[in-house]
């Protein structure tokens, strides 16, 4: 048998548990039907004829002729998959005429070649405890999107009227039209037979299951005879005797739900899954098709779990407030939230860490339309009641805000929560920080930055910007569907995804290249902006118990006589730390919030520190009129060249006050009434102008003599 290795919990697709038995070591056994992508097959050393034939969904319903991969586990603790002490696999039953056997009966993994249509029953015993699973093999029937099948039964026969909205969404999707777009030239001139394995349904050259390759051969379609691909070519195909091939061209219903189950006659008889491995059939074939690989490196692939997520209550979850953990910690829970449907998180129903869903492709994307999911009205609201429903700058990033916002607000939580139970705003509150909401302001007005609102789709625009170097060690670790902005490689080098940043912060290669315009933490050193934020955080931490250390002991806060004040301080500390952006999501607000907090703690005056500007600025000079010197300010939103010049009323340049590349920040500029050669100029009206690649402003000033 091919080399076996333990399978990561990220790739679990179907779980079957049995509880009981006589062994003291094993009280529950599980079988996984393993999904296999092209990449995974190669990594594990399994054969993959024709580079695709052993790719499988992990569903208990497969195309006839599919090789099914099974693994066995001891799940006695109800929380983890562990190797068993011993294994006994048995093929209890199979279809009449089948010659199928299990290729191994005593190892953790085994495979089964489903050579006939029908049901295969497999049992696994570990430590005297057994469980079993049924696998159904069937033939594909396709979906007749163009009504060319002559009335033959297919998915559309029922689903054009049963859940028609699902059929309508799929029929207009990129999945449905992938083959059509290829013939019409939209997929590129390189597109052809080698792409069909992922752009059609049921493609398996080693099996005879009614899939696309069988129909293609039957009608005699040869890709090279139709080249070059060009607009209108697919419509031409529909007028020929090869048109029935289109029932299985494109990525149809059966590619994700398995071929039609002979018993399919209502909900639950055709399997579906929330697992990302379903999409991994095609989106896990690096180097080009690497969405799955990127996702597997993300926090979404392994979200935090707590025993509080499951419930012993009799009722289902129906109220998806910010206190409903499964709204954001379970992929299926989030989908139920978007649909307004109840979610079953009851232990009595089998819900546990082993059965919950990660935040997968289907969590964010409607699997039928492939478009991003839409959340219910009223969900664009923060814990303090602030609604951002009307804000258009979020774009596609608005979907992210449904989970990436703080669960609590300070005004009621701080005074009404004991320090021993104090947990702060919760976690990952990028939306609150970005909007400048729910920091504890101590009654101060704190400005916000709006420059990052210019980024298209906000969260998506930055976090999903393409991996900078597809040949580097950080490939698939930052950007794209990893959503990561930084990664420390095995070479101990930290890689930053600055793809979007460089559009404004020109010339940078890492976040530390973005140097603060001001020494915000007043330590005497002008540092990278994020380090200045960290410096302010350390100043706060040093003033919290146990005092004098940056390692805060939360439990000690309640022992202090002014614990309410310290909770306010600690709230702001957690507010910034748990956002994880080091202030990047809202530079002015974070700096202002932290400086205000430090001032409340220590009395340090930060009034001389100017925050980063939200827009380009050229202020009016002061004094005006003046003699002999006047000053004004220049505000730079991003790094770039700036020129500030003084002209007389005839338009002749008198002096150049700034000329070069400057970092973002506010600069004070003075003019002493002298020209470029140092000579005093005559009194009168003068014009001063600020010029950058994206901004120009002109103002007047009067020199008195």
Q: Are residues 401 and 511 in the same domain?
A: yes
Residue pair 10/296 in contact (Cβ under 8 Å)? The answer is yes
Q: Are residues 581 and 527 in the same domain?
A: yes
Number of domains in the chain: 5
What tens digit of pLDDT does each residue of 642-697 get?
Answer: 999 999 999 999 999 999 998 777 888 999 999 999 999 999 999 999 999 999 99
Q: Which two tokens stand for residue 279?
A: 């999409």
101-109's contacts with Cβ under 8 Å and 24+ in sequence apart are 103/1, 104/1, 107/1, 107/4, 108/4, 108/6, 108/71, 108/72, 108/73, 108/83, 108/84, 109/1, 109/4, 109/34, 109/69, 109/70, 109/71, 109/72
From 545, 579, 602, give the residue that closes a domain. 602
CB count in 10 Å sphere of residue 519: 15
**pLDDT band per the 50, 70, 90 thresholds, residue 245:** very high
Q: Are residues 459 and 351 in the same domain?
A: no
Of the listed ranges 121-135, 441-455, 611-625, the one predicted with least confidence: 611-625
Q: Which two tokens stand for residue 62?
A: 């497969």
Q: Are residues 430 and 578 in the same domain?
A: yes
Q: Are residues 68 and 211 in the same domain?
A: no
Q: Is residue 471 part of a domain?
A: no
How far is it, in rounded angstroms, from Cα 451 to Cα 588? 10
Q: Are residues 448 and 542 in the same domain?
A: yes
Which uninterrupted H or E stretch holds 296?
helix 291-296
What tens digit of pLDDT does each residue of 60-93 get?
Answer: 999 999 999 999 999 998 889 999 989 999 999 9
499: Cβ contacts below 8 Å, ≥ 6 apart: 465, 466, 468, 479
Helices (H), ranges, 519-586? 529-541, 554-557, 563-577
Q: Is residue 226 part of a domain?
A: yes
Residue 469 is predicted with a pLDDT of 62
pLDDT over 90 at 610, yes or no:
no
Range of the domain at 159: 155-258
From 88, 109, 138, give the residue that closes a domain. 138
Cis preceding linkage at 287, omega within 30: yes
Q: Are residues 82 and 170 in the same domain?
A: no
For the residues 129-145, what does the mean pLDDT come to? Answer: 97
Q: Is residue 608 part of a domain?
A: no
Paired residues of 118 in beta bridges: 137
Residue 663 is predicted with a pLDDT of 78
Q: Are residues 121 and 33 in the same domain?
A: yes
Q: Pick from 314, 318, 319, 324: which is nearest to 349 by CA?
A: 314
Predicted model pTM: 0.82
Cα dist from 145 to 83, 248, 279, 586, 664, whole Å? 46, 10, 22, 48, 55
Angle ∠(384,440,539) on CA atoms, nearest 5? 150
Residue 573 sits at φ, ψ, to 5 deg, of -60, -50
pLDDT over 50 at 297, yes or no:
yes
Task: Provide the 3-class DSSP secondary structure of residue 236.
Answer: helix
pLDDT over 80 at 51, yes or no:
yes
Q: Are residues 456 and 556 in the same domain?
A: yes
As a whole number, the mean pLDDT across the chain is: 91
Residue 665 is predicted with a pLDDT of 77
What tens digit of pLDDT does each residue of 463-472 get?
Answer: 999 875 657 7
**pLDDT band per the 50, 70, 90 thresholds, residue 6:** very low
């Amino acid at each position: 048998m091919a080399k076996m290795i333990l399978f990561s919990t990220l790739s679990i697709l179907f779980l079957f548990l049995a509880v009981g038995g006589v062994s003291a070591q094993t009280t529950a056994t599980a079988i996984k039907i393993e999904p296999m992508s092209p990449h995974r097959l190669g990594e594990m050393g399994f054969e993959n004829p024709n580079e695709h034939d052993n790719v499988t969904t992990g569903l208990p319903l497969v195309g006839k002729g599919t090789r099914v991969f099974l693994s066995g586990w001891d799940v006695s603790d109800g929380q983890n998959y562990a190797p068993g002490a011993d294994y006994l696999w048995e093929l209890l039953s199979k279809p009449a005429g089948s010659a199928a056997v299990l290729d191994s009966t005593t190892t953790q993994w085994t495979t089964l070649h489903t050579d006939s249509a029908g049901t295969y029953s497999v049992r696994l015993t570990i430590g005297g405890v057994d469980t079993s699973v049924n696998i159904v093999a069937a033939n594909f029937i396709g979906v007749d999107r163009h009504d060319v099948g002559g009335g033959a039964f297919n998915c559309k026969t029922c689903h054009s009227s049963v859940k028609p909205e699902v059929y309508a969404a799929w029929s207009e999707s990129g999945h449905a039209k992938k083959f059509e777009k290829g013939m019409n030239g939209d997929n590129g001139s390189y597109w052809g037979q080698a792409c069909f394995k992922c752009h059609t349904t049921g493609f398996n050259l080693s099996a005879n299951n009614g899939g696309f390759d069988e129909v293609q051969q039957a009608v005699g379609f040869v890709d090279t005879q139709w080249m070059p691909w060009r607009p209108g070519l697919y419509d031409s195909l529909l007028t020929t005797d090869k048109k029935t091939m289109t029932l299985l061209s494109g990525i149809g219903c059966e590619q994700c739900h398995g071929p039609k189950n002979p018993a399919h006659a209502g909900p639950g008889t055709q399997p579906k899954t929330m697992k990302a491995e379903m999409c991994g059939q095609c989106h896990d074939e690096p180097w080009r098709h690497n969405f799955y690989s990127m996702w597997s490196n993300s926090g979404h692939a392994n979200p935090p779990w707590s025993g509080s997520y499951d419930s012993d209550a009799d009722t289902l979850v129906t109220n998806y407030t910010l206190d409903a953990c499964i709204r954001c910690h379970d992929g299926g829970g989030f989908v139920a939230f978007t649909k307004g449907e109840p979610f079953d998180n009851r232990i009595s129903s089998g819900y546990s860490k082993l059965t919950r869903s990660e935040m997968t492709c289907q969590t964010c994307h409607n699997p039928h339309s492939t478009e991003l999911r839409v959340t219910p009205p009223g969900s664009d609201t923060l814990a303090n009641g602030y609604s951002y429903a009307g804000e258009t700058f979020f774009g596609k990033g608005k979907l992210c805000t449904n989970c990436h916002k703080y669960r609590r607000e300070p005004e009621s939580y701080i005074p009404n929560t004991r320090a021993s139970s104090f947990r702060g705003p919760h976690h990952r509150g990028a939306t609150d920080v970005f909007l400048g909401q729910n920091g504890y302001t101590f009654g101060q007005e704190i400005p916000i930055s709006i420059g990052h609102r210019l980024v298209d789709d906000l969260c998506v625009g930055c976090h999903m910007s393409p991996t900078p170097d597809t040949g580097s060690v950080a490939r698939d670790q930052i950007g794209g569907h990893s959503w990561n902005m930084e990664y420390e490689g095995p070479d101990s080098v930290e890689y930053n995804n600055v793809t979007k940043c460089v559009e404004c912060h020109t010339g940078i290669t890492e976040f530390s290249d973005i140097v603060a315009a001001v020494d915000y933490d007043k330590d005497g050193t002008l540092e990278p902006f994020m380090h200045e934020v960290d410096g302010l955080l350390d100043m706060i931490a040093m003033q919290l118990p146990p005092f004098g250390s940056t390692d805060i002991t939360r439990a000690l806060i309640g022992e202090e006589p002014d614990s309410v004040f310290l909770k306010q301080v600690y709230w702001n500390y957690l507010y910034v730390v748990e956002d994880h952006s080091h202030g990047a999501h809202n530079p002015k607000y974070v700096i202002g919030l932290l400086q205000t907090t430090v001032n409340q703690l220590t009395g340090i005056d930060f009034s001389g520190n100017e925050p980063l500007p939200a827009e380009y600025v050229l202020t009016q000079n002061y004094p005006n009129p003046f003699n002999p010197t006047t000053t004004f300010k220049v505000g730079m939103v991003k790094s770039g060249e700036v020129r500030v010049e003084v002209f007389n009323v005839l338009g002749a340049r008198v002096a150049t006050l700034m000329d070069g590349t400057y970092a973002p920040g506010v600069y004070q500029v003075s003019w002493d009434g002298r020209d470029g050669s140092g000579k005093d100029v005559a009194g009168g009206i003068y014009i001063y102008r600020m010029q950058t690649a994206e901004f120009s402003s002109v103002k007047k000033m009067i020199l008195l003599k």
